[in-house]
Every structure is written in structure tokens, then in C-alpha cells.
Chain A
Amino acid sequence: MRVMIVDDEEYIAEELSDALDFLGLQTFSVHSADQALEGLRKETNIDWVITDLRMPNKSGEILISEVNETIGREINFIVMSGHGGDEFTQEKLKSSFPNVVDFVRKPVSFDTLQELVTKTLKAG
């Protein structure tokens, strides 16, 4: 299973990648929505994306909508945000995009990731 990690901050993407690798997932890190779209087109075996919401140029939300429109396969999203606690945003995303599966609040702890991998990714 390959998971794409989208975060404009390299360190975060890298640490996330490290953690997921450690947890036994294959990761593919990109640093912007455009890179993510390109990657998803090329690497057809990626069907999970963990994305940050706040990014320069294109936000996570736009990424999700563009992916849904341009990529002809089902890809699940886990949204990661400093505003993860905001129920309103979560509700809005969930209702707009059915393929948003879960939310992770920054800063993400290793334990949270472990839980996420066990509960969502491996289950899905």
C-alpha cells in the first residue's frame, strides 16, 4: 500500500514519511498540491493521500476537489491540519468530499499515527 504525503513543509513530510515507513507503509512525499496531482497521475498504485490543509498556492481542499475531478480512480484522503479541532471545517470537508476519511490534528504524535495506520489505512 502506498501512501502519498502532501505537506509544504519538507520536514513534516519527511518525518511523517519516516514514521509511516516505520509502521510498514510505502510513502511518497510531495510538497505541493500540483506535485501531488502529478504524482497521482504517474503512480497509479497510490490510493491514500495524507494532506495538509494549509498550503501556499493550492490548499488541501482544492487538491481534494481537483483529484476527484481529474484522477479517474478512487483515492482516500486523510486531512491533517493545525485547525483539526475545528469541527465545522471537518464537517464541511466530510460533507463535500465523501472520500475524506479521517482528520489528524497537528502536531501529530507518533502514537496518533500508529493508531491511524492500524485503524484506518490497514483496515481500508
Chain B
Amino acid sequence: MASLNDAIIDGLMEKKGAFRTKCLIAVVLASLGFLGNFYNIDLAFGVNFLFGSIFTVLALLALGPMYAIFVSVIASSYTIYLWGHPVAFVIFTGEAIFLSLVTARAWPRRDILLMDLVFWITLGMPTVLVIYNSFLDMPNGVVNFIAIKQAVNGITNVMLAYIVLLIARPVLANFPYLRPGAKLWRIATMVSVGLSFSLIVPAMLVLVSMNGWALEREMKRYKTQLNEITTHEVWAIEKQIKTDLDKLQNVLSGQGYLAENENLRAGQKALNALYVMSATGELWFERQFAETAHTSFETLREALDWARDMHGRARNATSIYALETEAGNPIVVGVLDDPEHPGTLVAVWDSSYIYQIVGSVNLSGQTMGLALQGSSNLPAALTGGFRQSEYLDVLFPTTDAASKVHLWREAQIVSSVPLASAGGASLVTFVSLRPVIDGVQSAITTFLVASFYSIVFALFVVACATLFFQRGVSRAMVHAEARIKRPNEDRRFLSEHFLLEGRWLSRWLDVISEDLVQKTDEQERIANDLTQLIDTANAPIFGIDAEGRVNEWNQTAERITGFTKDEVMGEDLVGRYITDDYKESVKEVLDKALAGEQTANYEFPLFTKSGDRVDVLLNSTTRRDATGKIVGVVGVGQDITETKKSQAQVIHASKLATLGEMATSVAHELNQPLNVIRLAAGNCRMRLGGLPGKHEFFDAKLNRIEEQTERAATIIDHMRMFGRKTLEDATELQVCQVVRNALHLVGEQLRLSAIEIELNLPADCGCRVIGHSIQLEQVILNLLTNARDAILAHSSDKKKISIRVEKVGDHIVVSLQDTGGGIPEKIRDRVFEPFFTTKEMGKGTGLGLSISYGIVSDMNGTIQVQNTESGANFEIILPSVEGSADQCVS
């Protein structure tokens, strides 16, 4: 139990460790996401390309849905600061939740890229359009632009996440807790990411550069327009100042410098001071009209000094200068040096004078002012709440309220044109950049929308194609996986196979090759077994090829035919080894088998090497190669030579037994009437003898009756003997003794017929069998009688009967050979049948051999006959009884 607890605790610890590691990774990813959003790319006027969601996708793939949402929340929180509203934050979090939901079940079942596309089309872009339009009050073109940017940004980031995974692969193997999704791609993901990347990156580049060009062109156009206006105004200002100076000169000259003359200031509220000085700088006339909010009399005197100084160095007919007051406001100093009048006229106006002049120029939303040193360092009084861009003739608002998205929209474009006179004063005009931005964004949004939908369509096609492709691959994998019976996989697969399909393929190939090796071994073993089985089978097996030549010949076939395999291989089976009378039919059967027909139990006689005939019962099967083409026939046979013989013997024996039973009853039935006839004839003959007269005729006839009944009785007696059941117990017999007894009975007869007897009995006389001596004697007598008759009928020169008794194995063989010319082959099979005789009528009953057959069969022996050169050779084969080698009793 303790160990189990330990195991559980270990498991928990490990899980805790895994959780801690995962949290750590999530925090790192969240930080990176935040940085990714912080270091964004400003695409156009505050529309930024963000990198944060890359890390959301990474967290989703590597850690899981909850981590992804966490990372997304942290990373996109920056956009609240960046754009000044939480809409993007909500949308990015929504994107993370959506992706988490659709991929939570089983990754990589769905393609994140496609899902992100689906998110942006169905949820993301509509939300952006609705919210930005309704609540952030932006023009349609800009909102479209922003929505499309967001979508493309999101999708691009998914791809970038994949690229990051691809690059980080070597490192990922060190993190065992990561989800397989981070380490293992599907081939479809790869295709999808690759295709999408190759689509979207060029498109993005084109868009960004197009955007840049459009902005530059628009800015240039706008600036030129602004410059033209400003230049025109500068001209107007100079012209007005000259006119005013001339007018002032005329007034002063005509009225003798009447200082009090209020006409001096007629229509010129902005005229602050008027001075006339001599060529040497002596002040002839001085009139300061009013201090204003911007100028003090001190300042005006300073302006005079400055003008005097400047004028002394470069005398021109009319000069216009601008000066800055201590408050930072420019004041305009006009100097008229007319040779027709004494002294130099100096007039000082405050800046409102300028606005009076250009007030007639209509330029909506413009701000205008004089700057002493061009547009590079505009006075704060002029720029107000704006700060000047270091690189562009643009003023950005400095107020806190101006969020970044509004920065560009509230910026001012600056145009500065120097006044003709020396002194470095320029007329500066700024005008809001908003029309430019709106113009640019509208111009490129049309293009952007078209491009975006093309890209979306292309991405959709790519996604569908890869999904379709994935379905095919997955289906094939599932189909094949079902055959792989080993679900276990080792860790190496995870680290070494980047593609899921690759991992699967290598596993599959492993299993297949292993199976193949096993199967090949198994097949080899089976093939060996089969070869051995065929070779050692206790049945002859023959095979021929399609041309009928032998190609299979097992050991049993060798044994029964006497031909070795080497001798027969490649020989024509039918032509050489089939007996002539069967050649045609065997060939027909083999041809049929070669045509595809099975043949069962066909009798197939073969020649043995020694010329004997072997009967084979053959079941032949067509042999085909792997393509189903017939390549030969193989036949499994059964040597039925012996079976056929014994079958014939069994039939024979039962035939004899039936006949025997019939014979017994016939004998009995015939015996009775014969008895009556015989006795009746005898009675007649006797009575006839007592009668007077000659009765030779009747005597003879009655005698004949008696004789013939005697003959019939003999036959019947034989028949009875043939079929009787011996009740007496069989005893042990000395075969030699029985033979001697038989010879004793007929020896004299044979001698008289001049037949020589050759007796060949074993010396030890150990030839003992079980049986009835009378019966065996009868058998031998029968054979001797037959031999004698045959010899006499044959009338051969040599008249000899050879009798031999010998022990062969467990059997005693009694052979009896005569010189009677043998038994014709035709009837050899029939000699043991009852009533079959070749002897002339009245000489034989035809029962002798069949009775002998029955007797020998009863003794569990066999009797058979062969022809030798000179005659027949009968062999009685009886089972031997082991016993003491008694001396023969002669």
C-alpha cells in the first residue's frame, strides 16, 4: 500500500511539476506577446501590425486552450494603451477563445489557420466594422482598412506561429510537457501553412509598399498645393506691406510729420509703432500707438534698433522683417527707404496684421503664422498644442487625449515660405492632415478590399484543398492503422518525426517490415515442412509440369516404382511409366487436370523398374502459380496393388462361404432321397435275386442305380465337407507329418503313374501350425491328385511333383510344384471357385480346390498358385506356431 501511495504522490508531484513548467512557459509567452504588441509596425497613420497573437497560437498549440486565453489577455492588453479603446482587446480575446473552443477537443483534427480565417470572416471583421463605425466615429474607408488589417494580421500571425514552431523544433524536444500539437504537424497543416504563407506574405508586402507610395504621393501633392497657397499669401503680404508703407510715407510727407494725425493709423489697427530716422540713424519721428498684449513699447524700440541696424547693412527700397517679442509672438517690421523723401520710414505691426492680410485667402482648417527661422523650429506660440515632427513637416498634437489612432488624424502638415526681404522670416501655414489620410486610406482601401477578398478566397481554397487532402490521408491512415496491432509508440517517434504522417508512416513501415519478415520466415518454414511432408509422405506423390514432364516424385513413389527421383525428373510420365492399356485414359485425365478439372480416385497403373505393374489410386490437383496460371498437376496416390488383390480375395472368400452354406443344406436335402433310392434299389436287387428266372438286365440297371447314387453321394459328401463347420478344436500339427501321411495315401498311385516325387522337408521339423490334420491332409491330397491329373493330361516328358516345406519368417510355406504345364492364365483366377473344373465329365467335382481354399482360410492361411516353366506351383502359406523343435515322427 505504501508503495502505491508513493506512486500516487510521485504522480501528483510530477503533474505538479508539469503544471509549474507549463505556467512558466505561459508567462514567458504572455510576456513575449506583450512585447510583440509593443514592438509593432505602423502600417499607415496609426494602423499597426501587431505580433502578440503569434504567442497566443503558440500557447494554444503547445500548452492548451486555457493557457492560450491567458496569453492572449496579457498580450492584447497593450492595445488598450496603444489605441485608446478596449475594442481590439475584446476582439483578440474573442479570437483566442474561439480558437481554443474549436481546437479543444482533439488537435490536430482541425486546421487552426482555417479556423482563424473563419473567425475573422464571421466574427472578427463584422465586430470591427460595427464597433469602429458606431462608437469610434471613423470614416468607412478607415474602418474597412482597419478590419481587413486585423484579419490579415490575425491569419498571418497563425502562420508565423507555425514558422516559429518549425524553427524552434530542436528546442521543443526538451519540453516533455508540451502538447504533441507543438511538435507534430500534419502534412495538411504544412501544406496549408506553406501555401498560405506564400500567398499572404507577398500580398502584405505589396500592400504595405503600395500604401507607402500612395501616402508619399498624396503628401507631396498636398504639400505642393499648400506651398502654392502660402507663396501666394507671401506675395499678397509683401504687396500689402509695400502699399501700406507707401501710404504711410505719403501721409507723413504731406502732413509734415504730424504726429498727432490719427490718420496715420486709419484702417490699421495692428500698426503698433511708426518711426522715421535719418540715414545716420538719428530718430526724426517717433510715434508708438499702443501697447498690445503681445508688444510693449520697449519691444517696439528694440524693433526700431534692430531695423536700423539691419537697414544700415543692406539698404533696400522696401524691406520687411519679422521679429519675435518676448512673449514669442512675431511682429512685422516694414522699412521704406525712398530717395525722394528724407529719412527712412519704419513701421511695426503685430502679427494680427498678417491675418488681416491673408484673411481673404480661403483654406479650410488652416493655421497660419510667421516664423523667424522657417519651419524647422516653429515658435510655441504658433504651434500651440502641437509638437513638431523631427523628420517631417508635420505637427502632432501633444495633448494626452490624443490617442495613437487619432495622432495622425489630428496632425497638421506644415508649409513655410520665406518672405522676400532679408531677415529670415517665413510665412508658415499648417493644415490638418486628416483629408490626406482619409484620401490615402480611401484610395488604398478599395485596392485593399479587393486584394483582401482575393487573399481570403485563395486562403479558403487552400484550406479546403488541404482539408480535403487531409481527409484522404487520414482515412488512409485510419484504414491502415486498424491493421497495426501495436498502439504503443516510443518517445523517439515524437522527437524524430516532425510530421504526424511521417511518424505514422515509419511506424507502419516498421510493422509491415516486421510482419513481412515473420511471414517470410513462416512461409519458408511451411515450405520446408511441405517439402518434407511430400517427400516423406506414406503415399506416392507425383507431379508433372504443363508439358507432362515429371517434376515431383517423393520417396514413397521411389519405393513403389523402383525409379529414383533423379531418374524420372523431366521424363514424360505417360509415355514412359504408364502401362500401355492405360496410356490414353491417363493422358486424358492429366490433360483435364491441366485444364483445371480436379480428378479424384483415378486408377493409374505404373510400370515399376522391374517391369511389374503397380496400381495407384490417384487424386490429382491442378497446380497454379501466383497469377493463377496452371503450371502443372500434382497427384497424391495410394498404392492399391495389395488392396486390390486382397479385395478380390475377400470377395472370393465370401462367395465361397455362401456357396459352402448352400452346399451343406443341398447336401442334406439330396442325401435323404438318395438314401431312399439307394436302399430301394438294393431291396429290389435282393428281392430280384430270390425270384426265379434270369434278371441280368434288371440286376445291371439296379446296380447302375446304386452306383450312380453312390457317385452322387460322393459329390454330396464333398460338398458337405466343403461347407461344414468344424466343431472339433484345432490342434497343433506337424506339417511335415501331414505331408508324409498324404503321400502315404497316394504314393502308390503316383508311383504307378510313373511320377517322380521330390520331397524337400526341413531337417528339424519345427514347422508346426494350428489346424485339423485330416483337413490339411485333405488339402495336400487334393493338390497331389490335381498335380497327377495335370501331369497325366499334359503327357510331358518329365513327370515330377516337388513338395517343399519351409519356414519363411512367421509362416510355413508348403509348395507343391508339378510338371503339368501350368494353369492357363485366363482361368488362373477361377481355379478356387467351386464347381470349376477343367477335368473331363465325371472325373472331378470341381470342389477340390475350393474346399482346400476354405480349409486353408480357416487356418488363417492363404493358398495361391503361380505358373512356373514346366507347370503349376501351389503354395500354402500358414501361420507358424513357435514350439520346441520336436523330432519328426516318420
Contacts and interface: CB of A to CB of B under 8 A. Distances in A.
A107 B686 contact: no
A12 B672 contact: yes
Interface stretch (A16-24, A28-36, A39-47): A16-24
A11 B721 CA distance: 26
Most A CB within 10 A of own CB, among B672, B717, B727: B672
A86 interface: yes
A85 B728 CA distance: 13
Contacts of B680: 11, 15
A107 B709 contact: yes
Contacts of B706: 109-110
A69 interface: no
B720 interface: yes
B682 A12 contact: no
Contacts of B687: 22
B726 A12 contact: no
A2 interface: no
- Which 3 pairs across A and B sit closest by C-beta, in order of nearness? A110-B682, A15-B679, A107-B675
24 contacts: A9-B672, A11-B676, A11-B680, A12-B672, A12-B675, A12-B679, A15-B676, A15-B682, A18-B683, A82-B668, A82-B671, A82-B672, A82-B720, A83-B720, A87-B728, A106-B672, A106-B675, A107-B675, A107-B679, A107-B709, A108-B678, A109-B678, A109-B706, A109-B710
Bin chain A's interface residue count.
20 to 34
A53 to B, nearest CB: 11
Most A CB within 10 A of own CB, among B680, B682, B728, B774: B682
B668 A54 contact: yes
Given A12-B672, A15-B676, A82-B668, A107 B683 contact: no
B674 interface: yes
Contact of A107 (B713, B720, B724, B726): B713
Contacts of A107: 671, 674-679, 709, 713
Nearest to A80: B675
Interface in B131-147: none
A117 interface: no
Contacts, number: 76
A4 B677 CA distance: 21
Contacts of A86: 724
Interface string A98-109: 000000001111
Interface of A: 9, 11-12, 15-16, 18-19, 22, 54, 82-83, 85-89, 106-111, 113
A14 to B, nearest CB: 8
Contacts of A111: 682
A88 to B, nearest CB: 4
B667 interface: yes
B396 to A, nearest CB: 150
Interface residues of B, number: 29
B583 interface: no
A54 B675 CA distance: 14
B685 interface: yes
A87 B773 CA distance: 12
A15 B671 contact: no
B682 A16 contact: no
Contacts of B713: 106-107
Contacts of A16: 679
A19 B724 contact: no
A119 to B, nearest CB: 17
A32 to B, nearest CB: 15
Given A82-B720, A85-B717, A15 B672 contact: no
Contacts of A15: 675-676, 679-680, 682-683
Interface in B710-727: 710, 713, 717, 720-721, 724, 726-727
Contacts of A106: 671-672, 674-675, 713
Contacts of B681: 110
A19 B681 CA distance: 10
B590 to A, nearest CB: 60
Given A9-B676, A15-B679, A108-B679, 13 more contacts: A9-B675, A16-B679, A18-B683, A19-B683, A22-B687, A82-B671, A82-B720, A83-B720, A86-B724, A89-B727, A109-B678, A109-B682, A109-B710
Nearest to A8: B672
A19 B686 contact: yes
Interface in B676-710: 676-683, 685-687, 706, 709-710
Contacts of A12: 672, 675-676, 679
A5 B674 CA distance: 18
Nearest to A9: B672
Given A12-B672, A106-B672, A88 B726 contact: yes
A12 B676 CA distance: 5
A106 B680 CA distance: 13
Nearest to B706: A109
A115 B710 CA distance: 17
B859 to A, nearest CB: 17
Nearest to A83: B720
